Amino acid sequence: MGAHERQQREKLILETAIKLFIEKGYHATRMDEVSKNSKISKGLTYFYYKNKEDLYMAVTKKAFDELKDVFREIIKVKGRNGLEMLTELAANYVNFVKKNKMYNEAILNFMGIMQLYNDEKEIQKIDPLILESVHFSKLLEIHHDCAKLGIQMVSLGIKDGSIRPELQPEVTFYTVWTMLIGFERLMGPVGFEGKDIKIQLDNLRPGFIKLMQDMLKGTIQAQRPQAVQASLF
């Protein structure tokens, strides 16, 4: 079996798993179903992916790769300032999540795993099969790639004057990302018709974008960065 054929089979198993995870959910999907639907023997399926946990980590890595492409497409376009890039990122991120709900859940699940992984007292709560996954090891190497591109956008905005000069790029981007995750999570509750809260989804998105822009621009004209780091709020 050649390298190309192996890659194609590995890709087919992964694509089949993604389809089943979308249709049935992770917990309801069995490796036997992945093997059957991909028309690849159980032996070969387990050769490429040791278990379902390993397979899900592979799916999670693909999710991060797809999200990274969203960031790349924005930052590679010349002629825009940092704030414009972050504004487009906010819109494209929400669209990505809307179109790829399973990917988003995989990314958020990994973030939850990392909370445990970074705590020596909590790491034991992680499924050992996840820790043994080669794809989990790959995720540890690449999961900051999206943030690195986002931090570049903030740094560019500080440099070109579209973003407040006293802000710290890393803290600023992670705050924006936190807001985007929260925005997406709250779209369901906001979209549910209620009598107590007078807000609609049509008003939430533009209001969110304007608030983010105002937060990043500040209320005064940009000045040279000062030694003291300022809060976003």
CATH number where 183 lies: 1.10.357.10
Q: How many CB atoms lie within 10 A of CB 141?
A: 9
pLDDT range class, residue 219, cuts 50, 70, 90: low
- Residue 230 DSSP symbol: P
Domain that holds residue 192: 51-217
- Whichever domain contains 23, its CATH number is 1.10.10.60
pTM, to two decimals: 0.88
What would the mean pLDDT of 212-228 be, rounded to a whole number?
A: 68
pLDDT, tens digit, 9 for 90 and up, residues 117-133: 999 999 999 999 999 99
Same domain, 34 and 149: no
In a domain, 173, yes or no: yes
For residue 225, tell me if it sits in a domain. Answer: no
pLDDT at 222 over 60: no
CA atoms within a 13 Å half-sphere pointing along the CA-CB vector of 184: 20
Q: Are 216 and 164 in contact (CB under 8 A)?
A: yes
Find the mean pLDDT for residues 68-89.
96
Same domain, 20 and 45: yes
Contact 104, 63 (CB under 8 A): yes
Please indicate, yes or no, if residue 222 is contained in any of the structural domains: no
Residue 232 near residue 167 (C-beta atoms within 8 A): yes
Mean pLDDT score, 107-124 = 96
Q: What is the mean pLDDT of residues 16-28?
A: 95
Report d(CA 183, CA 179) in Å as an integer: 6
pLDDT the model gives residue 211: 92
Q: Render pLDDT for 179-208 as a digit per residue (tens, 0 to 9).
A: 999 988 888 777 776 556 666 777 788 888
What separation in angstroms does the CA of 183 have from each of 65, 119, 197? 22, 27, 16
The total number of structural domains that make up the chain: 2
**Where residue 39 falls among pLDDT bands split at 50, 70, 90?**
very high
Coil, strand, or helix at residue 121?
Answer: coil
Phi, psi (rounded to 5 degrees) for 223: -125, 175
